Amino acid sequence: MVFLPMVPPPRPPSGRALDLGRRLKAEVERFEQQYPGTSREDLRAAAGIAIGEESATVPVQRRVRAAALGLVVAVGGLGVMLKTAESAGGGPSGAAAPYLIIGMACIGAIVVAVVVRRARG
C-alpha cells in the first residue's frame, strides 16, 4: 500500500492580515530610511520578537550548521558501529558496509535539504 500525504491548499490571508501587512511594510520602509543597510535577518528577528516566536530569531545559518553537524556525527557513528560489528564477526560484510554508509549519507542530505527549505520559508 502506498501512503500519499494530503496537504491542504493554502488559505488566502484574511482582511486583517492584509491590513497589518500593509502597515508593517510602511513601518519597515520608514525604519530602513532611518537605518540604511538593515538586513532581512534583522527584520525577521524583529518580527519574531514582536509576535513572541523565539524560533524566528535563530539565524537560518545556525540551524543549517546544526543539521549538518548532526548528519556528520550520525554518519561517523554509523561507520564506527559497522566497523566494530564487522571486526567482531557480525554485521555486514566488507563489501556492503560502504553502501550502508552512502545510503545514510543520502538520507542525511535529504534531511539537511528539508531543514534548509523550511528555514527559508
pLDDT tens per residue, range 100-112: 777 777 777 777 7
Kindly state whether residue 6 falls inside one of the protein's structural domains.
no
Structural contact between residues 78 and 100, judged by C-beta atoms closer than 8 angstroms = yes
Give the type of residue at 83.
K
In which band, very low, low, confident or very high, does the pLDDT at 89 lie, cut at 50, 70 and 90? low
Give mean pLDDT, residues 9-29.
91
Residues 77, 32 within the same domain: no
Residues 19, 39 within the same domain: yes
Q: Does pLDDT of 23 surpass 80?
A: yes
Residues 73, 100 within the same domain: yes
Residues 19, 49 within the same domain: yes
Residues 64, 45 within the same domain: no
Residues 79, 35 within the same domain: no
* Number of structural domains found in the chain: 2
**Residue scoring higher pLDDT (35 or 117):** 35
**pTM, entire model:** 0.40
- Residues in the chain, overall count: 121
